[in-house]
Structure 1
């Protein structure tokens, strides 16, 4: 066989091997979600690829038969064709007893390198660039090969199934998508420019609803403005003027005895009509929805939807009112930093590149997102930044008490009684060998 004929045969084998390698990696790497979208758009080949992914046994059998046959033939044809020519090259520099062995080794390495580069490495790298596109182009020829090699496929496939069954190994690809994978896909989409920054934040906030609990979004007990059952009309009007909320709780004697809530629009209608009113009027006070403080925000949405309410009273295990939460509060969590709030209402105000002013009631999730902190110690025991400071210091902090954590200094700058109103958060350079978490306080424990 001439060198030209041998070269043509080797080239043909390389093309066959490249085709099989490309088909193998493209069908294995194709994303099911992308293929389903292509199939819904009318691409029949995408449906064929999905069917191959669901039952890949016959496909991989054809690929392995082809790749192994090509590799064997490549060695059979390539080595005898190249060895004489390699011998001539070697003899120009060396005529010792190892000429034959060196010539064989050089021809073997040349054929192997040629197949690795052009029959395996390059086709697979090309297929990985756009696996779905390559898969839909190659699926029909692969199905044809599967038909042609059906007897061999049947033999090897049934043999492999028997071995899989014997050892209890899975034979069907399970498509299970975890929340972490969805987060990773969303992050990849944002980095690639497929998702806008606003869309990226919104999708992340949707998943955050299951990890955030009621106390992180509710109006705290001390901030609730409420009416007592025996309040006069003038008192009610003045409270509405001083605190222009849309709804107010109505209590009997104290905040823990809630009778319901009133809508300020109902009061406004009566005032505009010149009517007198009192909290005892029928239909003015609405029955409240009460929920435990252990619910997450997604459960709150479901409960509000089921009860057709958009306001709920939050009660702890001792039947004490700890806050109220509305559909607007949940929406604010969902929208996150996409909402533009007045500076006086913001819980986090950035002073410069390395310092922030934060309200003590700022939810920890918001602090983590702002500072890129992965986790806090014992996050189950508290929901707010003030709770984190008290947990770390093991006391009610005084002004200038601070905590060092994860490269940030959290310093109490505004204390009112036992309430932490405001903290100054500054970034500091962590020295080598300094512990990741530390705590210090200006006062004694």
Structure 2
């Protein structure tokens, strides 16, 4: 479960906090709409600026989303700057002289910048090259400066609101164009599953869909202080909230989760290496004794059966002397493959030293183990008969069986020693019973 998908009391507190904040903002709007507007815009400004700071310093840890988030973070920094100017220029703030309704023009400019930047980021997401962020920053700085000059100084930006008449045709058409761009963003995002986590896509989709609803509200208001204007600012807060969730997950939560997962995987890999024989790929002596101890402990407390098979490769020295040490290694690897292919998934095949192997066969009686070893011998005979190896493949083996009865007068360590000694003695007895020139078991 992702930290962003937690349920229970945490979500309940979030809902209660959101309701309290919404009610508080509404009460503020009744008393002082300018204060409400400033607080609503301040939230989006903080998100935009924070998004830039977080993604900028976390970009080395978010490589798979680096292109989009880094690009978008620069864009949202300047969207936030336009929103600051929009807030200061709002009717009644008296920061800028005159009655030119700069706030409405700045709103349209900021929404164009926001929607088109997301569109550009999603399109460029499929490009293999990385961005030069400093150049992107300079581009947005220049574009924002040009927009500001067009509105405040040169005054060539189209009028968006006229006192006594309301919104201009340009303003309303622009809102619908922005809606179209946001819908295009949603479509492109739906085709970007290979680039983003499901959590990121869900939150970005919610942010964009809420932005569409926001723009619809701003096509309907008659006054900068009416109900649709109020609802539109509520929706903008929600839109930026979902945006912040996507950024926080990608830039903070996921990198830490990735780091911890990487450490866990490396720890598991090191543990696997410490339990694996390098030449054969089987478990090593350390692993064999660990597994043997765990199985005997289970038998001691819960009952059950365990048979072990001590094996020693025959003729390894002769193979080394006659064919070289590489052939000797091949002989050991051949025996290892034979054992790995013959045992069951519940069994453990281990190389515990030079030419010695140990099989642990849980929940197996001695007759059942002997039947399994007969299959091993049959596989050995097929290898020798095929002539695939220039040297004979053979081994001696000894079985030892353990049940709960063994623990009547012995501790776990004593039973382990007895079991290994018994299997070892039987293996040597098997080896001695063979003639020097005999290579197959009779």
| Structure richer in strand, relative to its length | 1
TM over 0.5: no
TM range, smaller chain = under 0.3
TM-score (norm 2): 0.22
